[in-house]
Amino acid sequence: MKLNRRSFIGTTSLAAASLAAPAVLGAGKPRVVVIGGGAGGATAARYIAKGAKGAIDVTLVEPSRSYYTCFFSNLYIGGFRQLSSIAHSYGTLASAYGINVVHDWAVGIDRDARQVTLAGGAVLPYDRLILSPGIDFVDGAVPGWDVSAQNKMPHAYKAGSQTELLKAQIEAMPEGGTFAMVAPPNPYRCPPGPYERISMVAHLLKQTNPTAKIIVADPKPKFSKMGLFQEGWANHYAGMVDWIGADFGGGNVEVNADEMTVTIDGEVTKVDACNVIPAMKAGRICEMAGITEGNWAPVSGHTMQSRLDENIHVLGDATNQGDMPKSGFSANSQAKVAAMAVRGALTGSKVFPAKFSNTCWSLIATDDGVKVGATYEATDEKIAKVDGFISQTGEDADLRKATYEESIGWYAGITSDMFG
Amino acid sequence: MRAIAIISLWAALAGAALSDEAATAIGDADRGAKIFKKCQACHQVGEGAKHRIGPHLNGIFFRPAASFAGYKYSKGMRRAADSGLLWDLEGLEAFLTNPRKAVPGTKMSFAGLKKPKDRADLLAYLRQFSDNPADIPEAAPTARKVEIDLPPEVLALVGDPDFGEYLSTECTTCHQTDGDYDGIPAIIGWPTEDFVIAMHAYKQKQRDHPVMQMMAGRLSDEEIAALAAYFAGLE
């Protein structure tokens, strides 16, 4: 038989393709399903689709058509951002990257059959599954509070309508009224988040209701960027914020949403608005998949693979990975490592050693931004911190302003890295 | 033509109502030389000046915007040029006051000079490097600000852009790959040498910025070269 040029090229490229695709020899196009379209999931879907250039089928399952980022949602409360400015849609991921975006809830994972069931009834088979579901709350974590109380005492720790509700309640407080926050125990999403929120609430009240009081009941003896926040509260909101840490009974808390009371270490306080941020755990789908130990899903830092199922990668807040804080920046960083590992496994593309980084900016008042960050590497045991830095107390106003402006640049950067 | 150009510059100066004295009309060139240090990380001016991160600024006066064939301009700057932006005194003034407002989409990562005197002095300095008016002698070449000494073998490393693409995923959480600047500088299309020098300056903590010092701190010479090669190729 005479080989013509076309059939020769066809044969070699087929051979090359099968050599390059060890995991799916003989199968069709490999399939990746991503559950959760936040900083972890959207980034992972985009990087896999971008790198694979059509060689992998990527499906992204996310219930919301409009995704509100948790990061910068405090700035909405403070009046520095419109809610619409933190909303994002999935149009570019679908149109420019060919990702199959499905707006539905994942309600079941069959690990043996490697398929995901959606609330709408669809069944999605996968070669690799990426779970990036974020957090859910631990039942009974704050006595007197459960999800049925979230309209009276919002958590506002998943951004969107909850954030809007909390802001409206703060704005409706009577003159000289009291705002209370029940802060969460470690580990939780966005370590500086509750304290940036206190700063933003104080900023809002200072303008509209300057005699109002803020109480924070905290089960922790100290918190992220504590010195920076306390300095900022003293500088900008003197006498307004009363932080009650674990050493002063801040962990002994009960709330009553019908009466609008908060009881801290036996002392009952009537409040006008109350933000309850309960203890957290991995998004429920992780539990349903049977890949959690305790409240979180343990993963290997080399690939972000579940320690309990090598076909599943878990990203972001839901994971127990080691030293990285639960943040959008961390999830975005982890997503790129997972995307590289998934492409390597399914199409034989090059895999490099995992590297991670994180920076968290917080706004304390107008043009008063601070930040903390670190770099990380994967060891066999965990993701381990390599190096870090934190803003200093007493920094000059220009530097703080530059830090805030940088955070705006970061927001633009990470959201374009997530959503294209 | 030259006479007309000179006259129109004078007219522009008079219009700016700064002074009747032509040579000193714009501002204090010596002070402007000091202000130019803010620009030097990206722009060269004077004898032998070349395009670096930004285009060289010799002969900037009365040059139409985005008019060097050998420099990759942002879409924003090309748009402004299409609508007739000319680097006359008025155009430069507006651009230096607030670059992103004057030319939306410019990749120049500079907030602008808010004080009129700073702009006037800087323009007085830059005008010395334009042929028109010809009665102002060319100043000594302005040395580019080299922040650190790097061994030539480090500068000579040729980076692998594919490796750089992988490493770049750590950068793109903040730095946008389409070159947009929203508070964090654009880093695409830089000459590789400038990129390498900047990263080593962070690594050696000669340049101030805690995030960048940390990020650069753990990059090897090869990794920095790879990143430089990758980002240089982005438009």
Domain parsing of chain A, residue ranges = 28-137+281-350, 147-278
Mean pLDDT, rounded, for B65-84: 90
Candidates A348, A29, A37, A410; CA nearest to A45 is A37
User: Coil, helix or strand for A6?
Assistant: helix
Tokens representing B17 are 């109502």
CB B230 within 8 A of CB B164: yes
CA of A334 vs chain B CAs: smallest distance (Å): 10
What's residue B6's pLDDT?
41
Backbone angles phi, psi at A329, to 5 degrees: -60, -45
> Which class in CATH covers the domain with range A28-137+281-350?
alpha beta
Q: pLDDT confidence of B73, banded at 50, 70, 90?
A: very high
Domain pair A28-137+281-350 / A147-278, same fold: yes
Min Cα–Cα distance to chain B from A149, Å: 36
The answer to whether the CB of A300 falls within 8 A of the CB of A288 is no
- Alpha helices of B83-115 — where are they, by DSSP H? 89-97, 99-102
What is the value of pTM for the model shown? 0.79
* Same fold: B2-127 with B152-232: yes
Which DSSP helix (H) or strand (E) runs through B126?
Answer: helix B116-127
**Cα–Cα distance measured from residue A224 to residue A234, given in angstroms and rounded to the nearest whole number:** 17
Nearest of A59, A46, A36, A32 to residue A134 by alpha carbon: A36
Whole-angstrom distance, CA of residue A133 vs CA of residue A315:
8
Query: d(Cα A154, Cα A164) in Å, to the nearest integer?
Result: 10
Q: Model confidence over A13-71: pLDDT tens digits?
A: 444 444 444 444 446 899 999 999 999 999 999 999 999 999 999 999 999 999 999 99
Closest chain A residue to B109 measured between Cα atoms?
A409
Matching CATH number, B152-232, of 3.40.190.10, 2.40.128.90, 1.10.760.10, 3.20.20.370: 1.10.760.10
pLDDT level of residue B25 (50, 70, 90 thresholds): low
Q: What is the pLDDT of residues A139-178, one digit of tens each?
A: 999 999 999 999 999 999 999 999 999 999 999 999 999 9
Q: What is the mean pLDDT of chain B?
A: 81
pLDDT of A172 reads 98
CA nearest to A260, candidates A272, A247, A243: A272
pLDDT at res. B206: 83
When CB atoms are compared, the residue of A340, A408, A417 closest to B166 is A340
Task: Put the strands of the sheet holding A128-131 in their side by side order.
Answer: A100-102, A57-61, A31-35, A128-131, A312-314
Question: pLDDT, tens digit, for every residue of A108-141?
Answer: 999 999 999 999 999 999 999 999 999 999 999 9
Q: pLDDT-derived band of residue A5, with 50, 70 and 90 as boundaries?
A: very low
E strand or H helix that includes residue B229? helix B221-232
Tens of pLDDT, residue by residue over B106-142, are: 989 888 999 999 999 999 899 888 765 433 333 222 2
Could you tell me the pLDDT band of residue A7, with boundaries at 50, 70 and 90? very low
pLDDT in the model for residue A101: 98
CATH number corresponding to B2-127: 1.10.760.10
Question: Is residue B203 predicted with pLDDT exceeding 80?
Answer: yes
Ordered by start, the domain boundaries in chain B are: 2-127, 152-232
The residues pairing with A374 across neighbouring beta strands, listed in sequence order, are A358, A388
Chain A interface, best mutation among B160, B173, B212, B219, by max A CB count within 10 A: B173
Mutation site, B167, B174, B213, B224, interface A, largest A CB count within 10 A: B174
Q: Nearest by CB to B176, which of A391, A408, A412?
A: A412
Residues B210-229: what's their mean pLDDT?
94
The sign of the dihedral angle between the CA atoms of A217, A219, A220, A225 is negative
- Pick A417's closest partner by Cβ from B166, B173, B181: B173
CB contact under 8 A, B174 and A410: yes
Tell me how far apart the alpha carbons of residues A50 and A243 are, in angstroms, rounded to a whole number.
Answer: 46
Determine the straight-line distance between the first and last CA of chain A, rounded to whole angstroms.
Answer: 49
CATH number of the A147-278 domain: 3.50.50.60
